[in-house]
A = this chain, B = another copy of it.
Amino acid sequence: MNMRRTTIKDVAEAAGVGVATVSRVLSGGSASPETRERVLTVAAQLDYRPSALGRNLRQRRSGGIGLLVPDITDSFYGRLADGVLACARSAGEPVILGTTGDDAEREAEEIAVLLEQGVDRVVAVPAGSGEIWEPTLRTGLTTVFAHRLAAGRHDVPAVLADDRAGVRTAVDYLTGLGHRRIAYLGGPGQDSRVSVFRQTLGALVDEELIVFARGSRDSAYAAAAGLFQHRPDLTAVLAGGNQLGEAAVLAARELDLRVPKDLSLIMFDDVPWAELCSPPLTVIAEPAQDIGYRAAELVLRAGGRRPRGALLPTELIVRGSCGPRRTV
């Protein structure tokens, strides 16, 4: 029962060369054509696969890239993860996935796990504020933020959707339809959007109409229902994500608000069911998968250098959930 897997040493012996030579051949170093040939055939014959374990220890870093998202159950992050996976696969790199639940503490724990594993490249949707990342970044972790950046941390490259433009478009669209009392139903880490929201709305801004939910579905529903009940005079809502949009639709239905007659609704993030909803939801589409892919690309290409980030376009897709302001 001697099922030891074949090591580089076996290959070296079988090929009649030293282990160093085998290593060089296999990792593209210099070697004479004949030996290269011989080593390669022998390696193929023995079905030799280098063990990542040995290599990782020697290089004091595990390959692979870490991926931290708030919630893999959320379609948006699912697509983002898919993008990262696609890029990683084309590079043959494994992806270690962790979820933070938009909680700074859990985020820190997940980072610790990654660090212990020797992962030195991370794509993250940051949950905690910038300081949390400070010690991590100084250990040489090359990090790329995706979808949003950590508060007060502009020294980390980030791949973002241009949601500021998205907010402007949406608000302009709604005011163009005659709406004056427009609410923003937000989630964690959307401060930048809200500031644009305020800015675009100008004199129309009403602080009571800006509410935030925590990450969960329940919290989103609670925020939406609370908002609608507390301020029945509002006529339009901008929901900051697909779970918030879902909550808004549900709450509106529960309170017998007809969309778009009583309430116009725009949602961030185009999801397949937006079209199936009745009425079909007007959305601001964000290229979630692209965000993931680009972020992974950046983190893989980064040879120690800090790459520049990217800003990807959003798109207003008009369906049926917005109408002219109701005349009370």
Contacts and interface: CB of A to CB of B under 8 A. Distances in A.
A74 B79 CA distance: 9
A289 to B, nearest CB: 8
Given A73-B78, A73-B82, A273-B277, A95 B96 contact: yes
Interface string A104-148: 000001001111111000000000000000000001000000000
Copies in the complex: 2
Given A75-B75, A116-B51, A96 B99 contact: no
Nearest to A99: B85
Nearest to A274: B273
B75 A82 contact: no
A97 interface: yes
A230 interface: no
B78 A75 contact: yes
B72 A72 contact: yes
Contact of A250 (B56, B114, B276, B278): B276
Contact of A96 (B82, B96, B273): B96
A53 B62 contact: yes
A116 B52 contact: yes
A316 to B, nearest CB: 21
Contacts of A61: 53
B92 A113 contact: yes
Interface centre among A53, A92, A271 (most CB of B within 10 A): A53
A98 B95 contact: yes
Contacts of A97: 67, 81, 85, 95-97
A249 interface: yes
A141 B301 CA distance: 32
A112 B299 CA distance: 23
Given A73-B78, A96-B95, A277-B273, A118 B51 contact: yes
A13 interface: no
A271 B277 CA distance: 13
Contacts of A72: 72, 78, 81-82, 85
A250 B273 contact: no
Contacts of A71: 82
Nearest to A115: B49
A28 interface: no
A203 interface: no
A176 B71 CA distance: 40
B94 A113 contact: yes
A38 B112 CA distance: 24
Contacts of A3: 139
Interface in A229-250: 246, 249-250
B53 A57 contact: yes
6 contacts: A53-B61, A73-B75, A81-B97, A96-B96, A217-B272, A273-B276
